[in-house]
Amino acid sequence: MTTAPLRRVTSDDADPTEWRDKKRYLWLLGLIAPTALFVGIGIITFSNWLGSRFDNPVTHLIATVSPMWWWIGPLLVYVLLPILDVFFGPDGSNPPDELIEKLENDKYYRYCTYAYVPFQIASLFTAGYLWSADSVSWMGIDGGLSLASKIGLALSIGAMGGIGINTAHELGHKKDSLERWLSKITLAQTFYGHFYIEHNRGHHVRVATPEDPASSRLGETFWRFLPRSVWGSLKSSIELERNRLKRADKSFWHPSNDVLNAWAFSIVLWGALLAIFGIGILPFLLIQAVYGFSLLETVNYLEHYGLLRQKTKTGRYERCTPQHSWNSDHICTNIFLYHLQRHSDHHANPTRRYQVLRSFDEAPNLPSGYASMITLAYFPPVWRKVMDHRVIEHYDGDVAKANIQPNKREKILAKHGAAA
């Protein structure tokens, strides 16, 4: 693994006075996720109208297959974004250093993230109506939605919630109280409010170490990592907040407990949905929540796979550097995730806003965008074939320097000729 000073990747060598952010208005595409349901409703309604208005095989087929648009969320995550990442490829450009502060202070960028929240809430309540409605004839559908359509809708809403956790991640790192409250509101849909505490005060402290439940290990499958990260992060958030309140001489049940008041947002939101639309929507709320936070955990899995901060002579872990996170510069997924894929710079500068996160030569890079890698993570043999050799190459063949799954350590070390 290289120890040379990190170098910025940049394709923008123009004078800073002439530099313009080519992605400035592309960030609005991040609103596709919370508005996708309304797009799907429009397509389905128009397709059914075509089928009833023009009686021919083509329009009949369009109307017949239109229910697939209830699955628009998974279609975006697993099909459209990976294709777009391949087509448009990576973008390694960085803003000039002289303009970092100006870009940080440009409120347009934060308004792009703020706008996610009302669309997210509107989509969730629309889904509640659709799950509970006995008739949606205005869409050209006889009766209510089928079970398959309701499940597809739940997964689409869950995809929005999962991407919403990333929006909450961007907002929750900031010092502005409004942004922190918006972060909790965005997390309420998936009942994952404790992420607000664990990510900032747990993960960022312990990242790329065996002690971090959200850092995956070489040889660890996603399906083993998922329960470890979910349960470990939950326990960690409670312990972190308990200790903070104890130092302030306050009870764990004090209203200032950020885990409890974040969960309170979920209780109020879910309570309102159940009161308005009935208990019958509860299974679909649960499906969307589990799917939503599982998408977050899949991203956690691929962000630090096998990477390990080494211990210094004092026994403490070395400072987190861009070499301890997997990067991807594929522009389409980066637009959807507010530069989350520039994860190395994020961990080096946690409060830095998404529009100025930088790409580095020496940071390890994934072969594609997160959207493509999420699918690979579901299939452990494929994932290991793609990623294990990259981890080993990152450490110049010294696999002992990697963060290895404990029950596979001896096997992995023996396979690659390293001493236990």
Per-residue confidence at 418, pLDDT binned at 50, 70, 90?
Answer: low
Tell me what pLDDT residue 32 has.
95
What is d(CA 17, CA 132) in angstroms, rounded to the nearest whole number? Answer: 55
Mean pLDDT of 28-35: 96
What is d(CA 119, CA 26) in angstroms, rounded to the nearest whole number? Answer: 18
Q: Of the ranges 8-12, 187-191, 323-327, 344-348, which one carries the lowest mean pLDDT score?
A: 8-12
302-324 per-position pLDDT tens digit? 999 999 999 998 989 999 988 99
Mean pLDDT of 382-398: 95
Per-residue confidence at 11, pLDDT binned at 50, 70, 90?
Answer: very low
pTM for the complete prediction? 0.93
pLDDT exceeds 80 at position 91 = yes
Q: Which amino acid is at 216?
A: S
Q: Of the ranges 75-79, 137-141, 161-165, 358-362, which one carries the lowest mean pLDDT score?
A: 358-362
Tell me what pLDDT residue 245 has.
96
Tell me what pLDDT residue 41 has.
97
Mean pLDDT across the chain, nearest whole number? 92
Residues 64-78, buried b or exposed e (16+ Cβ, 10 A)? eebbbbbbbbebbbb
Q: Are 240 and 202 in contact (CB under 8 A)?
A: yes
* Concatenated DSSP letters of 189-242: TTT-TTHHHIIIIIIHHHTTSTT-TTS--BT--HHHHHHHHHHHHHHHHHHHHH
What is d(CA 245, CA 153) in angstroms, rounded to the nearest whole number? Answer: 40
Q: Give the rounded percent of residues in the chain with a pLDDT score beyond 90.
A: 79
Mean pLDDT of 333-354: 89
What is d(CA 414, CA 335) in angstroms, rounded to the nearest whole number? Answer: 41
Tell me what pLDDT residue 419 has.
52
What is d(CA 261, CA 189) in angstroms, rounded to the nearest whole number? Answer: 14
Tell me what pLDDT residue 360 has.
80
Per-residue confidence at 350, pLDDT binned at 50, 70, 90?
Answer: confident
222-278 per-position pLDDT tens digit? 999 999 999 999 999 999 999 999 999 999 999 999 999 999 999 999 999 999 999
- For CA atoms 255, 261, 265, 268, give the dihedral sign: negative
3-class secondary structure, 360? strand
pLDDT exceeds 50 at position 202 = yes
The token pair at 272 is 């309102």
pLDDT exceeds 80 at position 138 = yes
pLDDT exceeds 60 at position 14 = no
Tell me what pLDDT residue 288 has.
98
Question: Helices (DSSP H) in 279-355: which residue ranges?
Answer: 282-303, 331-336, 343-348
Tell me what pLDDT residue 6 has.
40
3-class secondary structure, 22? coil
The token pair at 51 is 């089928």
The token pair at 256 is 């200032």
pLDDT exceeds 90 at position 194 = yes
Tell me what pLDDT residue 174 has.
85
Task: Return all residues near 257 (Cβ < 8 A) that are at least 6 apart.
Answer: 241, 245
Tell me what pLDDT residue 13 has.
52
The token pair at 284 is 């679909």
Q: Are 296 and 195 in contact (CB under 8 A)?
A: yes
Tell me what pLDDT residue 15 has.
65
